[in-house]
Amino acid sequence: MHPIEPGHAGRSDGAVDGGVDARRSAPESLNQWAFSLRAFQFEVATRAAVSVALPLVVLLLTGHLDWAAYAAFGAMTSLFGRNEPYRIRVRTVTVAGLLMLVIIAGGLVLAVSQASLLILALGLVVVITLGILVASTAGLFPATPIFFVFGYAVVAQVPTPGDEFWVRLLVAVAAAAFAWLLSMSGWLLRRLAGERSDSMFKNLLRGAVVHPRAWRDPQVWLSIAQNVVGALLAGGLAMLVGIGHPYWAVVSVIAVLPPPRAAHSVSRAFHRIIGTAVGVVIAGLVLLPGPSVVILILVIAACQFGAELLIGRHYGAALLFVTPLALTVVHLTSPVPVQSLLIDRVVETTLGGSVALAIVLLAQAVLRRRTSRLRPASSGIGTS
């Protein structure tokens, strides 16, 4: 995760000699409160929610909600770019959107051909590798391949007639294009606002750093290996347990493991496991009453909003929204009995989280051993 962003540069907030405390304690007008939300990624979260809600409404009105997954995954293009300057955002959002569409197309090919388990597993390895390599090279955030893996895992296992390949892909393309336009819409809005832009919108402070040699970084390949081993192990164990679609165990592993060069922290791993598990409970509270399709679409939009609001500040907390978002999208696409769905997901979350935690602990043990070996050597150099 990137650190919490600093305050707005070049702008006076009147925070002088205790002014900050005075401002926090003073009551805000509704107008001040609304504008203050820009500090919490309100703009980013709003466009993420709209980007997924509108395509789903179109599918509802046209009677094609069974294509909801393709629209939802295409719309996840808007989860990238966040508050980057537009000359940088156009690159990161385009890269993320194109990669998502390539993965959806690949998943559709496997679904139409009813690919074997071995081919699906090889496809998963390719998606994890591409997701981490592209994210590391283009500086995407989130830096983990969770959305790409989730898109592949769902699309590849949804039964798909051959004559619907192109129309389902077109739904994803249209949703991704709409999300791309929304992600870039702030450029026009800021120019229309003119001098009021600084007070109405969050400053664009974060820039994605491109690493063209990321493919040569051993840490990147170590992260790929950890994710591949963890995903295949969790998926295999889920199948041995007898879970119908073990993709959630795979997604749980990807959600917990850190991106390349991030610390393998047990506390962060627990945060992500707890966030995923509680997210399953939240999904149960939403799905068990049997809400209408309209309510489910609103829930998906709200979860996309909440996930984008928090993902830059606390990834574990964001999973409280990412998890019910994912489960609701799948339920909307191919409804199954909710109780069995939730039981399977709890088991898969526990299984996937346990596998990821074991990898984190192993990585910590290897690091401690390597550090202990280096200490005597460095102390010897200092005393010679």
Residue-number span of the structural domain to which 318 is assigned: 39-370
Q: Which residues, in sequence order, are CB contacts of 177 under 8 Å at separation 6+?
A: 97
Q: Confirm whether 86 is domain-assigned.
A: yes
Look at residue 21 and tell me if it is in a domain. no
Residues near 127 by beta carbon (within 8 Å), at least 6 away in sequence: 103, 106, 145, 148, 149, 152
Q: Is the pLDDT of residue 41 over 50?
A: yes
- Domain total in the chain: 1
Is 103 a domain residue? Answer: yes
Tell whether 232 is covered by a domain.
yes
- Give the pLDDT band (50/70/90) at residue 220: very high
pLDDT tens by residue, 174-203: 999 999 999 888 777 666 666 666 555 666
Read off the tokens for 245: 């679609």
Q: Is the residue at 32 inside a domain? A: no
Q: How many CA atoms lie within 13 A of 169 on its CB side?
A: 19
Q: How many residues does the chain have?
A: 384
Residue at 101 is within a domain: yes
Q: Map tokens 């709409």 to a residue.
A: 178
Give a yes or no: residue 384 inside a domain.
no
Q: What does the mean pLDDT of the chain come to?
A: 81
Give Cα separations from 112 to 124, 160, 333, 338 (angstroms): 16, 5, 16, 26
Give tens-digit pLDDT for 294-353: 999 999 999 989 888 887 677 778 888 988 888 888 888 877 788 877 888 888 888 888
Separation between Cα atoms, residue 38 and residue 202, nearest integer Å: 5
What pLDDT was estimated at residue 27? 43
With 60 as the cut, is the pLDDT of residue 283 above it?
A: yes
**Is 59 within 8 Å of 164 (Cβ atoms)?**
no
**C-alpha to C-alpha distance for 259 and 289, rounded to whole angstroms:** 37
In this structure, is residue 324 part of a structural domain?
A: yes
Residue 50 confidence (pLDDT) above 90: yes
pTM (predicted TM-score) = 0.80
